[in-house]
Structure 1
Amino acid sequence: MSSSVVSTPAGAVRQTSLREINLALLLGRIAAAPRPPSRADLAADTGLTRATVSAVVDDLIGGGLVTEVDPTPRARAGRPARGLLLAGHGPAGLGLEVNVDYLAACVLDLAGAVRHRTVRRVDLRLLSPGETLGLVAELAARARADADDQGLTLAGAALAVPGLVGAGGVVRLAPNLGWREVDVPALLATRPPLTEAVPGLPALVVDNEANLAALGELHAGRAGVTDFLYISGEVGIGAGIVLDGTLYRGGRGWSGEIGHLPVHPEGRPCRCGGRGCLEQYAGQEAIIGAAGLGGDDLPAHAARLHRLADEGDPATLAALAEAGTALGVAVAGVVNLLDLDTVVLGGGYAPLARWLSPPVTAEVSRRVLTAAWAPVTIRPAVLGADAAAVGAAGSVVRRIIARPHAWLARCG
């Protein structure tokens, strides 16, 4: 097969075969198609010859990345062609999440179906980073065993954490966990499946949980919504900013720390060292405290909060209204700055959106300069509270779709 030459930024030269390019091109088109395309559809869409398309599709099918489906009956004459879909029986992504009061694991197949999900409730502020990551490894091992039983192969993993993540997966700061300069990959260096990489694909990627949740929402959300602010409401509050279908990370990769925007500049002290941060008024602990649900069992109180809100408990409704107002103040500032038309309430906010949305909407309507003729939509996350773990697994799946030759080389 002929090849093209690509120069790297360092000036080195590497060979990128046309086969690699065509594999990624056709798999990407199959993944993005609104209905299963045929081989003829792909040839017409890409300009490749039918023979080339057929050969590449055969490789994708042989590698467990694509499957053929029976054609839809049609009225006109001629034999209808079989359609092509992403396969649900080959590679899969492992998504993991560390938050303040729980751990989660999710396995997503290439077709986007959740094949495994585990949530473990535990107050991680009481554990060291090493102890916490040991529990993460246990969840990963359980997920891997379940994936193996289903005939899936984990092609990589992504870990979502509630903090600032630097180069190489080092968590620079996660104030609500008490983490500072935690080298996550080093602490997991001997833990399969978090160390077993497919050649050409990373074994483990560490990223901010709101960023991964926003990416999950982007790919699982409503068609046509490519600009939005995703807010993850847990003990801490993070945000993922999506602009023109792309996650905005900022110049150093640390954008989205909406929880530390001051809503009362001389207000309550925050774990970050500041005062009056949004987390102190709209974080999960703040809402639970305002509702009069004191105590150390945060997961139990979070479940009780939802139940009391559903029952119309006055103290709970007042706490949610106060939190929604504070959240609306912060959201309005972001919307004024970035001109976004959609705000997605995710994480622990998703099941509470029914009560949080009205005060958030009221503040946004009052404070956003353009709200009178350009209303802002406030809605719960499509993926609900699972967005970070699903988004993490989805990031692995999308890497496979972008670089299928790496997976096929492993299989060959």
Structure 2
Amino acid sequence: MNGKAATRGEAHLSTRTRLERGRSALGPALELVHTGRAPTRAVLTAELGVTRATAGAVAAELESLGLIRIDAKPSAAAGSQGRPSHRLSVAEAGPVALAAQVHADGFRAALVGLGGRLVATAPGCETVDADPAQVLGSVVEAGARLLRETGRRCVGAGLAVPSAVAEPEGTALNPLHLAWPAGAQVREIFADCVRDAGVEGPAFTGNDVNLAALAEHRHGAGRGARDLLCVATGHRGVGGALVLDGRLHTGSSGLALEVGHLTVHPEGRPCYCGSRGCLDVETDPLAFLTAMGVEPGPEGLLQQARRLLAEQYADPAVRTAAEELIDRLGLGLAGLVNILNPDRIILGGLHRALLEADPERLRAVVADRSLWGRSGGVPILACTLDHNSLVGAAELAWQPVLDDPLGALG
């Protein structure tokens, strides 16, 4: 082989090697842009540990798939020197995931793009039928209408439900506040509804608080945490979720972190699980209204409880009821801190409102009752994403694309 031929062979091999490396880097690169951790090509290059040429090729491929946008001529920051790096962002007109959420006070459908952006939402329904197929058919049809109206490409669908979802069957084991039968085959029913509605892509189902934690870890108050504990109220009941080493922990069969059934008041209210005084019945919106002696109104339990905390916290009845719930919530959180040793706690639903109403009281209870709390304290923050369970449901549908963008869309 002459010298020129050898050089061409080496160049060809180098190009092929770069393409192979680039293909394997597409998913990690997309996740970095998706979660906001690679705002520029320079950061992408450093995070992937590849050459500038490979990072450029990867970004260009993702742009050609309609997933990200490259700004090759960004304006330089004031006082900076040198040519600014290309800026990377998710494509605003790119594909979407259909996200659905069902809870005790209704259901909602939305289209969610990369970056956790809500592209469109359908008006929520306030009536939940006792037949899961009826409810899921209605929420999927609402999402399908959004897809027709927007003309967006769909990568798949995700559903958030207020129940533990057993794996691998995809059954809702305890949809107590929906009047659905225990063991309802929600994943299979949802997938059938998605297919019947003509929605493209695979269908997924998960617990609503698990999905809220996933969304907050990628896009909200949990971003950057390694071991993240999320505790939240829905419209009824209390749920928990744990992100360990950056990944959602669901246990051996999807049932981990049923924190609602931690006992925080042994002589308290009877719980659906057969015990008494569980977080589920001592710190949810109904418990708050009951402690105040207020009848539930037409606006929904969670909305009513939040409104009272925000607008009438100076009222002694509101403050006394809130302090009672804060003390019991703090006791439950302290036990979880002792067991799990998280580096951050985030609170959602009514628990977020309780934290915002009296942050010092809640943090003091947790610190006083937990070994690790006394040694420096665990940050306790409010969830920051609106509709985080919807965004988390979309994350399920986006995951195959994040794993292999070219395989999923190419």
TM-score range, shorter chain: 0.7 to 0.9
Partner of 1:251, secondary structure, is coil
Picking from 54, 65, 68, the partner of 1:66 is: 68
Picking from 105, 112, 118, the partner of 1:108 is: 112
Question: Match of 2:214?
Answer: 215
Residue 87 (structure 1) aligned with residue 87 (structure 2): no
Distance in 2 (CA, whole Å) between partners of 1:366 and 1:156 is 46
What are the Cα deviations for residues 265-298 of structure 1, in whole angstroms up to 9, with x where unaligned? 3532222233222122111111112222224x46
Question: Match of 2:364?
Answer: 362
Question: Match of 1:228?
Answer: 228
Question: Match of 1:397?
Answer: 398
Residue 205 (structure 1) aligned with residue 207 (structure 2): no
Partner of 1:191, secondary structure, is helix
1:211–1:241 contact (8 Å) kept in structure 2: yes
Distance in 1 (CA, whole Å) between partners of 2:46 and 2:268 is 62
Question: Match of 2:294?
Answer: 293
Q: How many residue pairs get matched?
A: 386
Residue 136 (structure 1) aligned with residue 142 (structure 2): no
Question: Match of 1:157?
Answer: 157
Partner of 1:188, secondary structure, is helix
1:121–1:299 contact (8 Å) kept in structure 2: no
Q: Name the CA shift for 1:266/1:123 in 2 (closer, same or farther; >3 Å).
A: farther
Q: What amino acid maps onto 1:160 in structure 2?
A: A
What are the Cα deviations for residues 307-337 of structure 1, in whole angstroms up to 9, with x where unaligned? 3332223222222221111111111110011
Identity, % of aligned positions: 32
Q: What amino acid maps onto 1:265 in structure 2?
A: P
Q: Shift in Å at residue 216 of structure 1?
A: 0.7
2:346–2:380 contact (8 Å) kept in structure 1: yes
Q: Which is further off, 185-194 or 286-295?
A: 185-194
Question: Match of 2:3?
Answer: none
Q: Name the CA shift for 1:369/1:50 in 2 (closer, same or farther; >3 Å).
A: closer
Q: Shift in Å at residue 408 of structure 1?
A: 3.0
Q: What amino acid maps onto 1:308 in structure 2?
A: L
What are the Cα deviations for residues 34-80 of structure 1, in whole angstroms up to 9, with x where unaligned? 45433x77567656566655554433222201222122337899765
Question: Match of 2:247?
Answer: 246
Q: Name the CA shift for 1:406/1:327 in 2 (closer, same or farther; >3 Å).
A: same
Distance in 2 (CA, whole Å) between partners of 1:226 and 1:371 is 17
Partner of 1:271, secondary structure, is coil
Q: What amino acid maps onto 1:89 in structure 2?
A: A
CA RMSD between the two structures: 3.1
Higher helix share: 2
Question: Match of 1:313?
Answer: 315
Q: What amino acid maps onto 2:178 in structure 1?
A: L
Distance in 1 (CA, whole Å) between partners of 2:344 and 2:300 is 31
Q: Name the CA shift for 1:147/1:68 in 2 (closer, same or farther; >3 Å).
A: same
Q: What amino acid maps onto 1:108 in structure 2?
A: V
1:156–1:194 contact (8 Å) kept in structure 2: no
Q: Shift in Å at residue 242 of structure 1?
A: 1.8
2:69–2:88 contact (8 Å) kept in structure 1: yes
Q: Name the CA shift for 1:62/1:261 in 2 (closer, same or farther; >3 Å).
A: same
Q: Shift in Å at residue 92 of structure 1?
A: 1.4
2:97–2:394 contact (8 Å) kept in structure 1: yes
Partner of 1:256, secondary structure, is coil
Q: Name the CA shift for 1:356/1:232 in 2 (closer, same or farther; >3 Å).
A: farther
Q: What amino acid maps onto 1:209 in structure 2?
A: D
Question: Match of 2:148?
Answer: 145
Q: What amino acid maps onto 1:117 in structure 2?
A: T
Distance in 2 (CA, whole Å) between partners of 1:336 and 1:407 is 42
Partner of 1:181, secondary structure, is coil
What are the Cα deviations for residues 198-242 of structure 1, in whole angstroms up to 9, with x where unaligned? 6xxx62110011110001111123553332211121211001112
1:229–1:240 contact (8 Å) kept in structure 2: yes
Question: Match of 1:6?
Answer: none
- The answer for unaligned runs of 5 or more in structure 1 is 3-15
Distance in 1 (CA, whole Å) between partners of 2:198 and 2:150 is 15
Q: Shift in Å at residue 110 of structure 1?
A: 1.7
- The answer for unaligned runs of 5 or more in structure 2 is 1-11, 14-18
Question: Match of 2:284?
Answer: 283
Distance in 2 (CA, whole Å) between partners of 1:365 and 1:338 is 15
Q: Name the CA shift for 1:135/1:287 in 2 (closer, same or farther; >3 Å).
A: farther
Q: Shift in Å at residue 142 of structure 1?
A: 3.5
TM value normalised by structure 1: 0.82
Residue 270 (structure 1) aligned with residue 274 (structure 2): no
Distance in 2 (CA, whole Å) between partners of 1:57 and 1:144 is 27
Q: Shift in Å at residue 155 of structure 1?
A: 0.8
Q: Name the CA shift for 1:389/1:348 in 2 (closer, same or farther; >3 Å).
A: farther
1:157–1:194 contact (8 Å) kept in structure 2: no
Residue 122 (structure 1) aligned with residue 121 (structure 2): no
Question: Match of 2:171?
Answer: 170
Distance in 1 (CA, whole Å) between partners of 2:38 and 2:70 is 12
Residue 337 (structure 1) aligned with residue 339 (structure 2): yes
